[in-house]
């Protein structure tokens, strides 16, 4: 699939930066840039200037790729900008296959702390808003919603699915399984566990044979835990998970469900004829 990045949760509004120290000859050949130079990726795209042009660019990507699934990733900051995009999709009749909602929880040690901590909407809020907006314009049935941003455990998966996600990304959990200790040195070239570095003395510490098994095991057990979790909630598959099974304490002695919190209603009365376990 092809995912067009409009913004990301770790640093919305900023482009990427490849430091000269990490731009080795091998990396420069892959990226087709001059080696040992700092490469700054712009924070905006030159292929389009507004929401309508974005829609046509997505169509162009789909056509040129022979029909591969095409979508975009966004960390929502201003709601009106996302609404403008949805309006343009509705007006042009061009629908991406998916939209990835990246929450402000998304992170990288290479981002400024102000961006990591304070920019963008939290994933739960942004996911609900995106889901409601797409439904308002009649596009939800055409577009899958993906969720990303500090999704690690089976609970994180189930919670975001209940709020509208069709699928979830998990990078942080995989990084932990790989050996990340959150040293916040991703951009320095001196990652102490050998993940975000091109230093031979450091990346020798990351045994791919061993780490690949750890990552695969983490994924397998997370999926197993998800099955057990939703089963305990009374569901047989993830798509059945509803927001009324999750609760949050909002003040002393008061808990409300995610359904009440985000949708303003309570769960419908259960069928009295349904057998209780």
Dump pLDDT digits (tens) for 53-81. Answer: 999 999 999 999 999 999 999 989 889 99
pLDDT band at 82 (very low <50, low <70, confident <90, very high): very high
Environment class of residue 266 by beta-carbon count within 10 Å: exposed (0-12), middle (13-18) or buried (19+)? exposed
As a three-state string, the secondary structure of 33-55 is CCCCCCEECCCCCCCCCCHHHHH
Model pLDDT, residue 51: 95
Model pLDDT, residue 271: 47
Model pLDDT, residue 111: 64
When pLDDT is averaged across residues 181-200 and rounded to a whole number, the result is: 82
Model pLDDT, residue 161: 94
Q: What is the mean pLDDT of the chain?
A: 86
Give the global pTM. Answer: 0.82
Distances in Å between the Cα of 62 and the Cα atoms of 55, 70, 96, 228 are: 11, 6, 9, 38
When pLDDT is averaged across residues 115-123 and rounded to a whole number, the result is: 76
Model pLDDT, residue 252: 86
pLDDT tens for 206-216 read 888 888 999 99
What is the spatial distance between Cα 65 and Cα 1, in angstroms, rounded to a whole number?
Answer: 9
pLDDT tens for 105-117 read 766 666 666 666 6
Domain borders along the chain are 2-263
Model pLDDT, residue 195: 84
Q: Tokens for 50, please give them.
A: 């507004």
Model pLDDT, residue 35: 86
Q: What 3-state DSSP class applies to 141? A: coil
**Who has greater pLDDT, 218 or 249?**
218
Is the pLDDT assigned to residue 218 strictly greater than 90? yes
Q: Which helix (H) or strand (E) holds 275?
A: none
Lowest mean pLDDT among 38-42, 133-137, 257-261: 38-42
Model pLDDT, residue 119: 74
Model pLDDT, residue 273: 47
Model pLDDT, residue 104: 80
When pLDDT is averaged across residues 139-154 and rounded to a whole number, the result is: 93
Sign for the pseudo-dihedral over CA of 110, 113, 119, 121: positive
DSSP 203: H
Q: Which CATH class is domain 2-263?
A: alpha beta
Model pLDDT, residue 220: 95
Q: Tokens for 9, please give them.
A: 């949760």
Model pLDDT, residue 14: 65
Model pLDDT, residue 276: 39
Is the pLDDT assigned to residue 87 strictly greater than 90? yes
Q: In sequence order, which ranges of 104-240 are alpha helices (DSSP H)?
A: 113-118, 123-136, 154-162, 172-178, 200-203, 208-232
What is the spatial distance between Cα 19 and Cα 185, in angstroms, rounded to a whole number?
Answer: 12
Q: Tokens for 181, please give them.
A: 């200790």
**Who has greater pLDDT, 192 or 111?**
192
pLDDT tens for 228-266 read 999 998 999 998 999 988 888 888 888 888 888 888 765
Strand order in the sheet with 70-74: 2-5, 70-74, 98-102, 144-148, 167-168
């Amino acid at each position: 699939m092809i995912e067009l990045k409009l913004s990301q949760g770790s640093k919305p509004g900023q482009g990427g930066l490849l430091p000269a120290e990490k731009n080795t000859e091998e990396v420069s050949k892959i990226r087709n840039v001059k080696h040992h130079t700092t490469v700054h990726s712009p924070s905006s795209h030159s292929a389009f200037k507004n929401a309508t042009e974005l829609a046509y660019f997505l169509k162009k990507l789909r056509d040129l790729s022979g029909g591969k699934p095409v979508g975009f990733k966004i960390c929502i900051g201003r709601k009106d900008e996302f609404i403008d995009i949805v309006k343009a999709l509705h007006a042009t009749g061009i629908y991406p296959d998916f939209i990835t909602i990246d929450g402000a929880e998304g992170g990288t040690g290479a981002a400024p702390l102000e961006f990591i901590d304070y920019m963008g909407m939290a994933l739960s809020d942004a996911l609900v808003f995106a889901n409601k907006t797409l439904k308002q314009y009649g596009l939800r049935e055409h577009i899958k919603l993906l969720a990303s941003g500090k999704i690690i455990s089976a609970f994180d998966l189930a919670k975001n699915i209940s709020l509208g996600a069709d699928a979830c990304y998990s990078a942080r959990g995989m990084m932990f399984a790989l050996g990340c200790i959150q040293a916040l040195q991703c951009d320095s070239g001196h990652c102490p566990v050998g993940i975000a570095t091109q230093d031979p003395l450091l990346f020798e510490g990351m045994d791919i044979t061993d780490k690949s098994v750890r990552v695969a095991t983490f994924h397998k057990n997370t999926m197993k835990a998800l099955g057990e979790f939703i089963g305990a909630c009374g569901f047989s598959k993830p798509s059945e998970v509803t927001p009324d099974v999750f609760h949050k304490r909002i003040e002393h002695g008061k808990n409300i469900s995610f359904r009440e919190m985000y949708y303003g209603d309570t769960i419908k009365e259960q069928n009295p004829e349904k057998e209780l376990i």
